Amino acid sequence: MPLLHISLRAGKPAAYRQAILDSLYRAMREALQVPEGDEFMTITELEPANFRCGNAYGVTRSDDAVLIQITVFDTRTAEQKKALYRRIADLLGERPGIRSEDVFVNVLDAPKENWSVGHGLAQFA
């Protein structure tokens, strides 16, 4: 049940943004065994004045940097997360062509009781 928030600079065409969503969904299906149809993702496009991405940690980022925050059940292992990071970077490199240096991923773990996917119920608690 991942929930993704993707932030990038404004100005990319719709096909570029769709390629990001498609690649992220594929990476989650492959690395986390996310079920078919489990797609809860948003993209926020920000004007350059509202988007800053530094070059810390020995990574030189460009204006094409993408910030990806993924909230998942707190049952994912470190190995699954590492596989996810690698797969995201690989797939975004293929389509839409984002350099791995420009892929910033943050995974947040949340207990299952913190999720309601509809009807006011805690389906996973």
**What's the CATH code of the domain at 78?**
3.30.429.10
Question: What value does the mean pLDDT take over residues 103-121?
Answer: 96
What pLDDT sits at residue 119? 96
What pLDDT sits at residue 80? 97
Structural domain tally of the chain? 1
Contact assessment for residue 112 and residue 105, using Cβ atoms and an 8 Å cutoff: no
Percent of the chain with pLDDT over 70: 100
What pLDDT sits at residue 90? 98
Instruction: Identify whether 93 is part of a domain.
Output: yes
Instruction: Identify whether 119 is part of a domain.
Output: no
What pLDDT sits at residue 10? 98
Instruction: Identify whether 124 is part of a domain.
Output: no
- What is the DSSP code (8-state) at residue 112? G
pLDDT digits (tens, 9 = 90+) for 63-74: 999 999 999 999
Instruction: Indicate if the alpha-carbon torsion angle 16, 17, 20, 25 is positive or negative.
Output: negative
Instruction: Identify whether 29 is part of a domain.
Output: yes
Instruction: Identify whether 20 is part of a domain.
Output: yes
- pLDDT higher than 90, residue 1: no
Q: How confident is the model at residue 114 (pLDDT cuts 50, 70, 90)?
A: very high
Please identify every residue annotated as catalytic. Answer: 2
Instruction: Identify whether 42 is part of a domain.
Output: yes
What are the start-end ranges of the E strands in the chain?
A: 3-9, 41-46, 66-73, 103-110
Q: How far, in Å, CA of 85 to CA of 25, rounded?
A: 13
pLDDT digits (tens, 9 = 90+) for 72-93: 999 999 999 999 999 999 999 9
Instruction: Identify whether 77 is part of a domain.
Output: yes
Longest dimension (CA), the chain: 46
pLDDT digits (tens, 9 = 90+) for 7-44: 999 999 999 999 999 999 999 999 999 999 999 999 99
What pLDDT sits at residue 121? 94
Please give the residue range of the domain that contains residue 11. Answer: 2-54+63-114
